[in-house]
Structure 1
Amino acid sequence: MYYCCGVTEKGVMPHNEDALLIRDTVIDSGSSEQTIAAPFIAAVSDGVSGERSGELASKMCLELIRDMGYTGEAKLDDELLAIHSRLAEYSRSDPEMHNMQATLCGIAIDEQNNILTFNVGDSRLYRYRGGRIRQLSRDQSLVQLLIDEGAISHEERNTYVHRNIIFPVFGNVKSAPKVDTVSIEGGMEYGDLLLLCTDGLSDYVSVLDIEEILELPKSLKTRLHLLVNKALENGSKDNITVIAVVYYE
């Protein structure tokens, strides 16, 4: 069984372009907590700033994932690219929704508790184990490319002038995204916590702060709200969404 808890918050923005999915539940406001058995998908999505109807893109993306009815038999890469195509087709058909786009980061857990991660854009997946955080996803962004090439350092990530440039994401009408899918070898160990979040959190809360907050002897829901509040205290100018998934026997 898995305990999943998620929070999404518009923060200082006038509306929320983020959304989250936990199995059959898609929300763009407030929180959700569930105790569920596999198979299921948990994911976060962030409407791309500057594009029209980002809030619709993120929610629609997650609703389409929910409606596909995930099982271990699914060819997830193909299913996700089909969802991208539907978003792009929808935006082409309506001038008001032209080029609506959204990032996507999530986990798919099958009937045997195998875990497949997927990512498009710069939302993130972390694993918290033994008091330490490790990023499992890889940002699809110009900054990450420059770091990989040694052109800038990790310390320059948050101050680089073009840090908001990301590669094609879901709904892009010019280029299809590249879906990064990776299996988590061995699945989850007892005590592991998987953390999904949008950049409204990861850009403003350090790994050390995440570790310290997750270590607190408080309910998981309370700790997620503390992470959101920390991002706001640190000046987050974006929507903030976070999901935690815990495995227990």
Structure 2
Amino acid sequence: MYYCCGVTEKGIMPHNEDALLIKDSVIDSGSAEKNVDVPFIAAVSDGVSGERSGELASRMCLELIRDMGYSSDMKLDEELLAIHRKLAEYSESDPEIHNMQATLCGIAVDENNNLLTFNVGDSRLYRYRGGRIRQISRDQSLVQLLIDEGAITSEERSTHVHRNIIFPVFGNVKSAPQIDTVKLEGGMEYGDLLLLCTDGLSDYVSVLDIEEVLEMPKPLQARLDILVKKALDNGSKDNITVIAVVYYE
């Protein structure tokens, strides 16, 4: 069994272009927590800023994932690419929502407890183990490419002029996304916590701050609420969504 909890908050924005999925529940406002058995998927999605109907894209993306009925028999990357095509085709049917797009980051756990991670865009997956956070996903963004090439440092990421430029994501009508789907190296051990979040959190709350909050002797849902408040207090100008996943026997 797994315990999952999450929260999605519009912050200072007029509406929420983020959404989260925990097994069979898609949420675009407020919080949720539940114990879930395998198989299941947990994911966050962020409607791309500047594109039309980002809130529709993120919710529709997660609803399609929820409805696909994940199991070990599936080729997850192919199923996710099919969902991208459905979003792109749907957006081309109506000028009002043309080219609606969304990032996607999540985990898929099959009936045998095998855990795959998947990512498109700049939402993130972290693993918290032994009091330390490690980023598992890799940002699909221009600044990450510049960091990889040594052109800028990681510390320059948050202030770089091109920090909001990401590679093609779900629903892009011109280019298909590159879906990073990999088995979680090292799996999950007792005491591990997986943290999924959109950039409204990761751009405004440091890894050290995340570690400090996760160490607090408080219920997990309360710790997520504290992370969201920290992002807002630090000036987050985006929607904020975060999910925590813990395994227990």
Q: Shorter chain as normaliser: what TM range?
A: over 0.9
Q: Match of 2:217? A: 217
Q: Match of 1:32? A: 32
Shift of 1:182: 1.1
- 1:68, 1:210 → 2: CA distance? 32
SS of the residue corresponding to residue 69 of structure 1 reads coil
SS of the residue corresponding to residue 157 of structure 1 reads helix
Q: What is the percentage of aligned positions where both structures have the same residue?
A: 84
- 1:186, 1:170 → 2: CA distance? 28
Q: Match of 1:142? A: 142
Provide Cα deviations, 1:59-88, integer angstroms capped at 9, x if missing partner: 000000000011111110000000000000
- 1:147, 1:78 → 2: CA distance? 29
- 1:83, 1:184 → 2: CA distance? 22
- 2:71, 2:227 → 1: CA distance? 31
Shift of 1:219: 0.2
Shift of 1:187: 2.1
SS of the residue corresponding to residue 33 of structure 1 reads strand
Q: Match of 1:109? A: 109
2:123 is aligned with 1:123: yes
Q: Match of 1:66? A: 66
Shift of 1:111: 1.1
2:217 is aligned with 1:184: no
Q: Match of 1:195? A: 195
Provide Cα deviations, 1:199-233, integer angstroms capped at 9, x if missing partner: 00000000000000000000000000000000000
Amino acid at match of 2:57: A
SS of the residue corresponding to residue 69 of structure 2 reads coil
Q: Match of 2:12? A: 12
- 2:152, 2:186 → 1: CA distance? 34
Task: For 1:141-160, list aligned pairs within 5 A.
Answer: 141-160=141-160
SS of the residue corresponding to residue 158 of structure 1 reads helix
Shift of 1:185: 3.1
- 2:208, 2:241 → 1: CA distance? 19
- Unaligned stretches of 5+ residues in structure 1: none
Q: Match of 2:90? A: 90
Contact 1:114 1:186 in 2 (8 A): no
Q: Match of 1:240? A: 240
Shift of 1:186: 4.1
How many residues end up aligned between the 2 structures? 249
Q: Match of 2:227? A: 227
- 1:185, 1:153 → 2: CA distance? 26
Q: Match of 1:43? A: 43
- Unaligned stretches of 5+ residues in structure 2: none
Shift of 1:184: 1.1
**For the aligned residues, what is the CA RMSD?**
0.5
